[in-house]
Amino acid sequence: MNVSNYYESIDEDSRFSSNSRKIEFMTTNHVLKSIMPENAYILDVGAGAGAYSFYYAERNHKVVAIDLTPKHIEIIIEKSKKTGLSIDAHVDNAIDLSRFDSETFDFVLCFGPMYHITGVDDRSACIKECLRVLKKGGHLAIAYINKYSVIPMLVTRDQKFIRNSVIEKVINEGVIIEGDDDCFWTDAYFTSPDEIEALLHKFDVIPVDHVGTDGISHTIQDYVDRLGDDEFNSWLSYHFQTCRERSILGISTHGLYICQKG
């Protein structure tokens, strides 16, 4: 329960408060806009404090949110009462969605679990469950953290972790575990654009889109956050035009892979 304990201790609700971090959220919604059907039935797996759940509920979609961290579900339930937006929210694990019948949802958002599922079998179980509860022809969107972005990010944030043992874990193992000397976060899994594509290729899915949702904005966050409104809008325009460029996808901190259930 290391991951749940970690999120109990931080303010996940403020995650998209700065411009550099908001780009991930804006890009994800920009990309999904052309794919999301009207009045969709959406499952938000690993919903956090509900940023995406509320965004889509406000746009007349029916949303169910699950998260491993009880605090997040409490926040969603409380905010749902205050806003009058009906979101069904449960504490649940992404690798076991037995609460839901097969082929229930039009769209499954899996935006948090791949950051933290460190076991190979558990990652496969998560994808299998997301696809099981998805209607035939429905879409699954999976967010991941790109391992090639991690060391550049650490250079700007916490240079004591710039050492060979950390680089080995991030690049070759893709896993860090809370409590280890080389852990700079909590239990986490880092992958790459090629690896996430190869993983999903094992399942009966049709590739739809693959984008770098924040490009290098997270890595150079101090500079992006100092941009004025006009400059930021221009930066956002540049980002939207280049977020599918393979070289930028390869260094983007967060990636989004979208596929359709066959």
Q: What is the pLDDT of residues 51-110, one digit of tens each?
A: 999 999 999 999 999 999 999 999 999 999 999 999 999 999 999 999 999 999 999 999
Mean pLDDT of the region 17-28? 93
Contact (CB, 8 A) for 65 and 44: yes
pLDDT at residue 7 in the model: 64
* Strand-strand pairing, 134-145 and 105-110: parallel
pLDDT at residue 10 in the model: 59
Q: What is the pLDDT of residues 137-190, one digit of tens each?
A: 999 999 999 999 999 999 999 999 999 999 999 999 999 999 999 999 999 999
* 167 inside domain: no
Total domain count for the chain?
1
Instruction: CATH number of the domain at 90, please.
Output: 3.40.50.150
133, amino acid identity = V
Tokens read off for 204:
């009966």
Can you give the three-state secondary structure of the chain, one letter per residue? CHHHHHHHCCCHHHCCCCHHHHHHHHHHHHHHCCCCCCCCEEEEECCCCCHHHHHHHCCCCEEEEEECCHHHHHHHHHHHHHHCCCEEEEECECCECCCCCCCCEEEEEECCHHHHCCCHHHHHHHHHHHHHCEEEEEEEEEEEEEHHHHHHHHHHHCHHHCCHHHHHHHHHHCEECCCCCCCCCCCEECECHHHHHHHHHCCCEEEEEEEECCCCCCCCHHHHHCCCHHHHHHHHHHHHHHCCCHHHHCCCCEEEEEEEEC
Q: What is the pLDDT of residues 216-259, one digit of tens each?
A: 998 899 999 999 999 999 999 999 999 999 999 999 999 999 99
Q: What is the pLDDT confidence band of residue 262, given thresholds at 50, 70 and 90?
A: very high
pLDDT at 1 over 60: no
* 163 inside domain: no
* 132 inside domain: yes
* 182 inside domain: no
Burial class (CB in 10 A: 0-12, 13-18, 19+), 185: middle
* 231 inside domain: yes
* 235 inside domain: yes
* Domain, as residue range, for 72: 2-147+187-261
pLDDT at residue 13 in the model: 63
pLDDT at 8 over 80: no
Contact (CB, 8 A) for 57 and 88: no
pLDDT at 5 over 80: no
pLDDT at residue 106 in the model: 98
* 178 inside domain: no
Mean pLDDT of the region 197-213? 98
* 181 inside domain: no
Burial class (CB in 10 A: 0-12, 13-18, 19+), 172: exposed
pLDDT at 261 over 50: yes
